[in-house]
Amino acid sequence: MVELYEAMSSLRAVRRLKSDPIPAAIMARVLQAAAWAPTGGNVQPFRIVVVKSREKLEKIEAWYQQEWARYTVGMRSAVDLSDNDNPTVRTLKAGDYLANHLHDVPALLVFCFNPEHMAITDAGLDRPSVVGGGSVYTAVQNTMLACRAEGLGCVLTTLLCFREAEMKSLLGIPPEWGTCAHIPIGYPILRGHGPISRRPVNKLAYFDSWGDAEI
Amino acid sequence: MVELYEAMSSLRAVRRLKSDPIPAAIMARVLQAAAWAPTGGNVQPFRIVVVKSREKLEKIEAWYQQEWARYTVGMRSAVDLSDNDNPTVRTLKAGDYLANHLHDVPALLVFCFNPEHMAITDAGLDRPSVVGGGSVYTAVQNTMLACRAEGLGCVLTTLLCFREAEMKSLLGIPPEWGTCAHIPIGYPILRGHGPISRRPVNKLAYFDSWGDAEI
């Protein structure tokens, strides 16, 4: 039983996960949290493939390692990798750990969505569309908060979108569905969830006009 | 103090809202919940404009009414509008109420995002992109859960994306930012949050391969 604000305020990205299995009752509660999420028209245009197969995770890990290496080239060259006090270095090392251990996480939650079942109101605008995410990432956030409540580490990743074709083939995902979140979950090796660092609210919220912070 | 699963499992779309003001301390907690949300690289590429100005809300209401009418033409012609036992009719009537009372909600939360601050990993795929939403709708869900905890009704709307240019002009939103969620909040006129209707988890989650439900 975790209080809502306590869960939200201590939900960290946890990338070092034990391989210990997750009891079925706990996994069921995590998935139930996803199912409770609001979606446009209550259509629930998402599905979750819970990957536990070691064989499949090994294939996914190989793809993830390639994308993680590619994604972090610039970050690596911009820092002194021996400086463990640098937050970027710490994130890189935690990410490297995840990339090298994705094969033995107890579960990888692959969130799928069907754009045909969504009213994507910003599809015609001259900027990147995000509104389809409004019917999936609500469930993703519920899932991660549930992990926090259950003592499970988790982290939202999206790099495997670069390998969506391979992922869909591996998991048998139908043509009309896409993938948009890949969340490894498991018990934390280190301290797990805890304090988080965020901007103060008055840098994020304005009243009545952009830039007018009143709180 | 609301328990996490209790909040999630009773978060309804509440469209009939009182005009009573929201105390500043409560508003601050709702916005803090948004700020706690995880975002890609912890960049927090979202901002919230809290619209309380009656003058601005009246303009927004006029746009919303037009889009709501347009969006629901098909729904209205498909049902017997006098059948109040039909869930679609009930949703239409609640939506009509909201569309006619947006001018006097105590606050409309307009979520903005900056795609230049996001790594949109599915931007190059041959399907609608949603991944940008992964760094905004996590905060949206936290916000709505906080409303639930504080006894505030709320509902996620996105129809005002069709009027994004007007909204940006009205609220002074910079060119490089988009809008992706418009959440009226206020104390409920009727029962507010409560029981929700969702698919069972085994219709939403599969194990290892699409279609293989094991729970």
Could you give the number of structural domains in chain B?
1
In this predicted structure, what is the pLDDT of residue A214? 56
Rounded to whole angstroms, how far apart are CA atoms B159 and B180?
Answer: 9
Residue A193 tokens read as: 């969830």
Q: What is the band of A1 on the pLDDT scale with cuts at 50, 70, 90?
A: confident
Picking from B27, B66, B63, the residue whose alpha carbon sits closest to that of residue A206 is: B27
Average pLDDT score over residue span A57-80: 97
Q: Is residue B118 part of a domain?
A: yes
Q: Residue A179 — φ and ψ, nearest 5°?
A: -120, 140
Residues in chain B: 215
Which residue in the block uniquely carries the two structure tokens 């710490």? A90
Tell me what the mean pLDDT of segment A119-133 comes to.
98
Percent over 70 (pLDDT), chain A: 99
Residue B210 lies in a domain: no
Looking at the domain assignment, is residue B99 inside a domain? yes
Q: Which domain, by its residues, includes A196?
A: 4-203
Tell me, yes or no, whether B13 lies in a domain: yes
Q: Which of B131, B91, B67 is nearest to A121 (CA)?
A: B67
Q: What is the pLDDT of residues B103-133, one digit of tens each?
A: 999 999 999 999 999 999 999 999 999 999 9
- Percent over 70 (pLDDT), chain B: 99
pLDDT at A115 over 60: yes
Q: How many Å apart are CA B43 and CA B90, to the nearest integer?
A: 40
Please give the radius of gyration of chain A, using alpha carbons only, rounded to the nearest integer: 18
CATH code of A73's domain? 3.40.109.10
**The dihedral sign for the CA sequence B66, B57, B163, B28:** negative
Residue A208 lies in a domain: no
- Cβ <8 Å between A34 and B209: no
Q: Which of A34, A131, A206 sits opposite B133 (nearest CB)?
A: A131
Which residues of chain B neighbour A37 with C-beta distances below 8 Å? 8, 141
Judge whether B182 lies within some domain. Answer: yes
- For chains A and B, CB pairs below 8 A equal 292
| Residues B117/B43, Cβ–Cβ less than 8 Å | yes
pLDDT surpasses 70 at B215: no
Q: Is residue A212 in a domain?
A: no
Binary contact (B125, A211; C-beta < 8 A): no
User: Do you know the residue count of chain A?
Assistant: 215
Residue A129 falls within a domain, yes or no? yes
Q: Is the pLDDT of residue B214 over 60?
A: no
- Residue A27: pLDDT over 70: yes
- What is the mean predicted confidence (pLDDT) over A67-78? 96
Cβ B196–A36 below 8 Å, yes or no?
yes
Indicate whether A215 pLDDT > 60. Answer: no
A212 pLDDT above the threshold of 70: yes
Write out pLDDT tens, residues B27-86: 999 999 999 999 999 999 999 999 999 999 999 999 999 999 999 999 999 999 999 999
Q: pTM to 2 decimals?
A: 0.98
Residue B82: CB partners within 8 Å, gap ≥ 6?
Answer: B89
Average pLDDT over residues B89-102: 97
Give the gap in angstroms from C-alpha A189 to the nearest C-alpha of chain B.
20
Min Cα–Cα distance to chain A from B68, Å: 12
Nearest to B161 among A122, A161, A180 (CB): A122
Test mutation, A9, A15, A44, A137, chain B, max B CBs within 10 A = A137
Distance from CA of A128 to the nearest CA of B (A): 7
Start-end of H helices in B36-172: 54-71, 73-78, 87-101, 137-150, 164-171
Q: What is the pLDDT of residue B1?
A: 78
Residues of B in contact with A181 (CB under 8 A): 134
pLDDT digits (tens, 9 = 90+) for A157-191: 999 999 999 999 999 999 999 999 999 999 999 99
**What sign results for the dihedral spanned by CA atoms A66, A72, A77, A79?**
negative
In angstroms, the CA A149 to CA B35 distance is 19
